[in-house]
Structure 1
Amino acid sequence: MHTIITQLIGQTPVMSIPVPNRNSTLVLKIEKNNPGGSMKDRMARSMVLAALQDGRLAPGGTIVESSSGNTGTGLALAALEFGLRFIAVVDHHAAPDKIRMMRALGAEIRYVEGDFREDEVAVVERQRLAAQLGAQLPGALFMNQSDNPANPEGYAGYVEELLAQLPDGIDAFVGCVGTGGSMTGISQRLKRHDPAIRTIAVEPAGSIVFGKPGHPYYQSGTGTPAGDEVGKVLDYSCIDEGVQVTDMQAFETARYIARRRGLLVGGSTGGAIYKALEFIALGKLSGTVVTTVADGGEKYLGTIFDDEWMAKRSLFDPSIAAQLDGWLIEKAQAA
């Protein structure tokens, strides 16, 4: 019997989506089933534990982190477990329900100041304020997930579970890349298990992780916006290919998966699913292809699942649902 909420982190289920006429299966690892609602619960606890063990964070101390919400929720849970104070530094880009969730769990919320466009992620200012608070407050530590080696280390359990759940083997992994922690932690371990596993990292169009020009985007909690630096935790050597997905492709796919499969996934997960299916359709991936339901669509009911919000930002593209149907609905074999 579990007595602490963080003991429920991990052992998340998998769900398969057959891809007809391609001899492939897309396997989704449902990380939204973690207690904080995302895969970030794993790395958040890993970072706090490492900081307590090496003395950078003292009992009763304060955690400070810049977050768009999921890491912050995971840190709020870890703070409760270890009796710590937690300050989340956020901007206007964070989903309102994520901020409400952090606050409900006892986190203190600090908004960055400044005039930012709605589709502009204020990561640089968030990082600056979080680092300042970490330096100024007694007993405080800025977690700095982008450069924290305990971030990728937090995904060891994810890979162990996946290998046990898919004993017949994994042919490819398609994941989102933001700080690079999950992509690095998962890809390194999968490659160690079997170097032939293909790893594809997906960033939003407008992100600068793979050297493309930066521009604003609506996808939350993924990518690195122009003006920010790619996280030191990102290991490019374990990634076979880096690709970009548009907001339209990501959001229309999330809506499609909800309506066709009954599974609510977040926008960045929609993007990873879109690219995974596209690569399968193009013959660039085959066999068992894994991607992560990084978080749930429940956090985006007022945004990407809201018709008015989507229409106001010109994010609808009906051709994407038709494209997904073409990839996922079995075609009759010609006589």
Structure 2
Amino acid sequence: MSKVSDLIGHTPILGIPVPIRNSMLLLKIEKNNPGGSMKDRMARSMVMAALESGRLKRPHGVIVESSSGNTGIGLTLAAIEFGLRFIAVVDHHAAPDKIEVMRALGAEIRYVEGQYGEDEVAVVERQRLAAELAVQVPGAMFMNQSDNPANPDGYAGFVREAIEQTHGRVDAYVGCVGTGGSMAGIARGLKQHDARTTVIGVEPAGSIIFGQPGHPYYQSGTGTPKGDTVGLVVDHTTIDQGVQVTDAQAFETARFMARRTGLLVGGSTGGAIYKALEFIHSGVISGNVLVPVADGGEKYLHTVFNEEWLRERKLLDPRVTANLTRWLN
């Protein structure tokens, strides 16, 4: 290995027995990618596709993207590898530690302006500013991950690895839906391998991807907020069931997993794990149930893992821990 991108992929799987229906929760530890999330895969895929098509040129090309952090970190790594410049357009909703990682790696940070609630995601304004910068800055390209077909293409390696690690048996896949890229790429690949694989997409309560009314939410890097447009890479045909998870369910599950297993997972991953266990308990899915640990809880120590922060926002719910304890015992 001679470059950081060689470290992308080949992430391990942690198996957690679920006594109900003799099932196994399989957590693919995507936070082990060099940028700390599964978005490293698709970020490099989008940059390589842009370079191959000529839309982005070396050595003076400029990547511009709206990001809550993880995609931005992945794009920063790709920019370093290919000698490009990266401008990340962020808002107040992004975890501060993610922004500092991007800055440490050399990304240029642009904040959107405007008055937004703490639990409001300024995706529309981020997208607008990113598109504007791509026009203004010479040699720039707006990656537009929500509509970029190279986004789902970046997860082919995830599928190959998961099939090999499970000896070809993935009975169900439960993952978050944000831009829709990881869900589309992984779901298509798993269903091509075995059409019987059940796919469940999870969005925050308040997101509009599955047609529910929109309202603010705290989960970061997932869902589509009210006022935004669902991305073109979202492929509903690959999702057998779309469900919502509350902030309290997601965050309490992340905290529970840390205490139960010693594994720090991000808030959105907590939501996917909660729904996976709920669906196993109800009998909707069983067997080998695969969930990606999209990123690590290390990025959310001051929020998801801060009890005072949660209490102030009324995000503590002891019923979640009670459910999880019952389902895993």
Q: With structure 1 as the length reference, what TM-score do the two structures score?
A: 0.97
User: Does the alignment pair 1:294 with 2:280?
Assistant: no
Structure 2 counterpart of 1:36, one-letter code: G
| Counterpart-to-counterpart distance in 2, 1:135 and 1:286 | 49
**Residue in structure 2 matched with residue 118 of structure 1 by the alignment:** 118
**Offset from partner CA, 1:50-109 (integer Å, 9 cap, x none):** 000000001021000000000000000000000000000000000000000000000000
Q: CA deviation at 1:23?
A: 1.0
Identity %: 71
Q: Secondary structure at the match of 1:163?
A: helix
Structure 2 counterpart of 1:196, one-letter code: R
**Residue in structure 2 matched with residue 306 of structure 1 by the alignment:** 306
Q: CA deviation at 1:21?
A: 3.1
Which 4+ stretches in 1 moved above 4 angstroms?
none
Structure 2 counterpart of 1:300, one-letter code: Y
User: Does the alignment pair 1:136 with 2:136?
Assistant: yes
| Counterpart-to-counterpart distance in 2, 1:170 and 1:95 | 32
Structure 1: runs of 5 or more not aligned:
330-335
**Offset from partner CA, 1:166-222 (integer Å, 9 cap, x none):** 105110000000000000000001111111000000000000000000000000000
Q: CA deviation at 1:8?
A: 0.3
| Counterpart-to-counterpart distance in 2, 1:148 and 1:14 | 28
Q: CA deviation at 1:25?
A: 0.6
| Counterpart-to-counterpart distance in 2, 1:246 and 1:235 | 23
User: Does the alignment pair 1:30 with 2:14?
Assistant: no
| Counterpart-to-counterpart distance in 1, 2:275 and 2:233 | 23
**Residue in structure 2 matched with residue 333 of structure 1 by the alignment:** none
| Counterpart-to-counterpart distance in 2, 1:83 and 1:184 | 29
Aligned length: 328
Q: With structure 2 as the length reference, what TM-score do the two structures score?
A: 0.99
| Counterpart-to-counterpart distance in 2, 1:12 and 1:310 | 31
Q: Secondary structure at the match of 2:219?
A: coil
User: Does the alignment pair 1:207 with 2:202?
Assistant: no
Give the alignment of 1:168-317 within 5 angstroms.
Answer: 168-317=168-317
Structure 2 counterpart of 1:116, one-letter code: Y
| Counterpart-to-counterpart distance in 1, 2:168 and 2:70 | 32
User: Does the alignment pair 1:14 with 2:10?
Assistant: no
| Counterpart-to-counterpart distance in 1, 2:146 and 2:121 | 15
| Counterpart-to-counterpart distance in 2, 1:106 and 1:15 | 33
Q: Secondary structure at the match of 2:298?
A: helix
Residues 20 and 281 in structure 2, CA contact (< 8 A), matched pair in contact too: no
Q: Secondary structure at the match of 2:27?
A: strand
| Counterpart-to-counterpart distance in 2, 1:309 and 1:16 | 31
Structure 1 counterpart of 2:27, one-letter code: L
